[in-house]
A and B are shown apart, each in its own frame.
Chain A
Amino acid sequence: MSNSLTADAPVPFGRRLRRLMSDRPLIPLILLLVLLVVVLQILRPGIVNERWIANTIKFAIPLAILAGCQTMAMLTGGIDLSVSTSATMAAFIMATQVVNHDPSVAIAIALVPPVLIGLANGIGIGVFRVHPLIMTLGTSLIGSGFLQVYQRTVIATGTSVPPGLAWLGTGLTYGVPNALLLFVPVAGFILFLLNRTGFGRLLYAVGDNERAARLAGVAYWQVITALYVLSGLLSGIAGLLYVGLIKAPSLSLADPLMLPSVAAAVIGGTSIFGGRGGYTGTIVGALILTVLTTLLTILQMPEGARRILFGLIVLLVTAAYLRIIEDR
């Protein structure tokens, strides 16, 4: 960074703030999170306690995993609108298969469709070069169609959530959510993948300048296919965790997480145009959105207004990040 510039002349506050935002996006994000918690505490004194914090983390974790899929897709300049469908499929299929099978078998069966959806996405986007948005929207439509047909075949079976998943989703050990047992390895894996491996570097390279990456010998379609398959698998895992938390499998289980997963990644500083961002910001973004949702519920804001707010957040934050990049 240009330290000499800051030493030479006093930089206007706005510019300094922008530079801070672009260099250390975590600091303003954490400040925002703290601010939201303070507002919440003022509106409902006493609400912020140990139980509330554990609850918030529990609800933020499935969102953070889905937003991780979104982050990785966005790093390549894409987006994955099929994450909620993948999650729902995994959850619903697991809940119906577990009636007749062992939980581990049911989970293995349940994770197949999300991976297939991811594979279809990867081939469509990587080989046929369909826009990620259109492709993932299409596969999610097909996926929910399949799920509806599937539901007919198992209508007599009934559903159940295995106690292990319920323990993972809702349980607390010494006040710490058990879901962290799953989330810490997953988050560590994503962070390691993005920051320490060649694959992560390829994701950034493809998103930053696809043409340059291709000319440098990156097998574009392989990177994209691997990415969307991974995204499908992680969405499935998030779905299993979410059904353990909600305990009511349905065909629209994870739909409410779709918009927030995009918003969490965008708030976390991942550029929707690719090449910029990371997972740490996304995790904080997911926490911010969970707290914000609590706040909106307390203010009794209707679902419609919530969606409008999320839309505005995506638009404003993207525009703001665009300005920051242009500034440099």
Chain B
Amino acid sequence: MTRFLRRRGWVAGLFVLLALLFVATKIIQPGYGAGDFASLSRAVLPYAFAVAAQTVVVIAGGIDLSVAAMMALTSVTAAAMMNGASPEFALFVVPFVLLLGFVLGAINGILIIVTRVPDIVVTLATLFILQGAALLVLNAPGGSAAEWLKAMVVGTVPLPLLPEAVTAWFPKALLLLVVCLGIVWIPLKRSKLGLSLYAIGSSELAAFRSGVPVARTRILAYAFSGLFGAMGGLALTMSTGIGAPIPGPYLLASVAAVVLGGVTLGGGRGGLVGPIVAVFVLRLVRTDLTLMALDPNVTTIIEGVIMVVVVMLGAFLAMKGRRS
């Protein structure tokens, strides 16, 4: 029973929590409707990609501190390349930026394998390096995004045969999120590589002895993290229309959502659905605080406290788990 609760119950509990939060939101602000849900989805988008990037690595037993810097670099790269360019050129920019993220992520992994320095130090160093590179690309927020890219996150999905009142609840940003994550994550999880990720996360030695290519799997884990990070960077550029070289608070948010989403720090357990729902929960809490007419800076403090408490609880549970 406890095992079932741990495995599926956690994610189910998160969904219940999210539903309760929606009810609370509706009570606080009776006018909360489809439009607000669409803006929530838009706000969630970059956070969700950051969390996905962190999740892949944490499942493989590592941690990636360079997530936010990766998003900043890919975001400014996209914004700088699209600045003044034709809409068709953006068709080339998107795959290029995704590839850039994938390669930079792989370099993270290769550095960890080659230098044998722990992942937390290597990704801290690459955090500095990527941040520096982002500042070199754009010194101040600037650049621009192609109109069709910006349009992809605004508005709703026109579903045929359904009334307007229903389609209003399907924002394009949500669809984009589900499609991008699904396209990468579902094949990944079902493949041999996905199994290897969980294997090296739960016990590297056992995985090595059963013939899992540990080094290659680790590098690929970071590469996919980089890919998700690049998606997050693109999402930032798409929703703001510019690129900003100073990364937002995505690193702490990603770790908090990973922990809240039931992925143990230490690896080998959890999925992607939990963390993504956790992001919605954390963002909705922020929306509620804003709706309660709190000073936005106070909101930031409360949000930070919530994230730190969540991470503390996660670390505490992980410690308890190791002992038993």
Which A residues lie within 8 Å of B318 (CB)? 129
In the assembled complex, A305 has its CB within 8 A of some CB on chain B: yes
Q: Are B297 and A307 in contact (CB under 8 A)?
A: no
Q: Are B127 and A311 in contact (CB under 8 A)?
A: yes
User: Ordered nearest first, which 4 A-B pairs have the shortest CB separation?
Assistant: A311-B128, A307-B132, A304-B135, A308-B132
Q: Are B251 and A130 in contact (CB under 8 A)?
A: no
**B96-135 contact mask (Cβ, 8 Å, vs A): 1 or 0:** 0000000000000001000111101110111111011111
Q: Are B135 and A307 in contact (CB under 8 A)?
A: yes
In the assembled complex, A155 has its CB within 8 A of some CB on chain B: no
Q: Which of A139, A149, A315 contacts B117 (CB 8 A)?
A: A315
Given A129-B316, A130-B312, A307-B135, do A315 and B300 touch, yes or no (CB 8 Å)? no
Using a CB-CB cutoff of 8 Å, which residues 265-324 of chain B contact chain A? 265, 295, 297-298, 300-301, 304-305, 307-308, 311-313, 315-316, 318-319
Give 13 A-B contacts (CB < 8 Å), ordered by A residue. A128-B315, A130-B315, A133-B120, A145-B298, A304-B245, A306-B132, A308-B129, A310-B132, A311-B127, A311-B128, A315-B125, A322-B115, A322-B117
Interface residues of B (CB under 8 A from A): 63, 65, 111, 115-118, 120-122, 124-129, 131-137, 139, 245, 249, 251-252, 255, 265, 295, 297-298, 300-301, 304-305, 307-308, 311-313, 315-316, 318-319
> What is the minimal beta-carbon distance from A77 to any residue of chain B, in angstroms?
10
> What is the minimal beta-carbon distance from A172 to any residue of chain B, in angstroms?
34
Q: Are A137 and B252 in contact (CB under 8 A)?
A: yes
Which B residues lie within 8 Å of A304 (CB)? 131-137, 139, 245
A124 to B309, CA, bound (A): 9
Given A142-B301, A145-B297, do A314 and B121 touch, yes or no (CB 8 Å)? yes
In the assembled complex, A272 has its CB within 8 A of some CB on chain B: yes
Q: Are B125 and A128 in contact (CB under 8 A)?
A: no
Q: Select from chain B the residue with minimum beta-carbon distance to A130.
A: B315
Q: Are B124 and A133 in contact (CB under 8 A)?
A: yes
Known: A304-B136, A315-B111, A318-B121. 18 other contacts (CB 8 A): A130-B315, A131-B120, A131-B265, A131-B315, A133-B65, A134-B252, A135-B308, A138-B307, A138-B308, A141-B252, A141-B300, A142-B308, A303-B135, A304-B135, A311-B127, A315-B121, A319-B117, A322-B116
A273 to B128, CA, bound (A): 19
A128 to B304, CA, bound (A): 17
Given A128-B315, A302-B139, do A311 and B297 touch, yes or no (CB 8 Å)? no
Which B residues lie within 8 Å of A302 (CB)? 135-136, 139
A131 to B245, CA, bound (A): 27
A141 to B305, CA, bound (A): 9
Given A124-B312, A133-B65, do A152 and B133 touch, yes or no (CB 8 Å)? no
Q: Which of B125, B132, B307, B308 contacts A305 (CB 8 A)?
A: B132
Q: Which of A79, A129, A137 contacts B315 (CB 8 A)?
A: A129
Q: Select from chain A the residue with minimum beta-carbon distance to B302.
A: A145
In the assembled complex, A259 has its CB within 8 A of some CB on chain B: yes
Which A residues lie within 8 Å of B135 (CB)? 302-304, 307
> What is the minimal beta-carbon distance from A235 to any residue of chain B, in angstroms?
18
A196 to B127, CA, bound (A): 36
**A297-328 contact mask (Cβ, 8 Å, vs B): 1 or 0:** 00000111111111110110011001000000
Q: Which of B117, B128, B297 contacts A318 (CB 8 A)?
A: B117
A306 to B315, CA, bound (A): 34
Q: Select from chain B the residue with minimum beta-carbon distance to A303.
A: B135
Q: Are B128 and A138 in contact (CB under 8 A)?
A: no
Q: Which of A138, A272, A307 contacts B121 (CB 8 A)?
A: A272
In the assembled complex, A189 has its CB within 8 A of some CB on chain B: no
Q: Are A308 and B115 in contact (CB under 8 A)?
A: no
A314 to B122, CA, bound (A): 9
> What is the minimal beta-carbon distance from B80 to any residue of chain A, in angstroms?
13
In the assembled complex, A195 has its CB within 8 A of some CB on chain B: no
Q: Are A139 and B128 in contact (CB under 8 A)?
A: no
Which B residues lie within 8 Å of A309 (CB)? 132
Q: Are A305 and B136 in contact (CB under 8 A)?
A: yes
> What is the minimal beta-carbon distance from B160 to any residue of chain A, in angstroms?
45
Which A residues lie within 8 Å of B65 (CB)? 133
> What is the minimal beta-carbon distance from A285 to any residue of chain B, in angstroms?
16
In the assembled complex, A192 has its CB within 8 A of some CB on chain B: no
A306 to B139, CA, bound (A): 13
> What is the minimal beta-carbon distance from B165 to any residue of chain A, in angstroms?
39
Q: Are B295 and A149 in contact (CB under 8 A)?
A: yes
> What is the minimal beta-carbon distance from B128 to any residue of chain A, in angstroms?
3
> What is the minimal beta-carbon distance from A295 to any residue of chain B, in angstroms?
17
Q: Select from chain A the residue with minimum beta-carbon distance to B118.
A: A273
A277 to B224, CA, bound (A): 36
Which B residues lie within 8 Å of A303 (CB)? 132, 135, 139
Q: Are B131 and A307 in contact (CB under 8 A)?
A: yes
> What is the minimal beta-carbon distance from A23 to any residue of chain B, in angstroms?
22
Q: Are A129 and B319 in contact (CB under 8 A)?
A: yes
> What is the minimal beta-carbon distance from B292 to any residue of chain A, in angstroms?
16
**A111-129 contact mask (Cβ, 8 Å, vs B): 1 or 0:** 0000000000000100011
**A177-191 contact mask (Cβ, 8 Å, vs B): 1 or 0:** 000000000000000
Which B residues lie within 8 Å of A314 (CB)? 121, 124-125, 128
Which A residues lie within 8 Å of B249 (CB)? 141
A194 to B132, CA, bound (A): 34
A199 to B38, CA, bound (A): 55
> What is the minimal beta-carbon distance from A139 to any residue of chain B, in angstroms?
7
Q: Select from chain A the residue with minimum beta-carbon distance to B305.
A: A142
Q: Are A149 and B298 in contact (CB under 8 A)?
A: yes
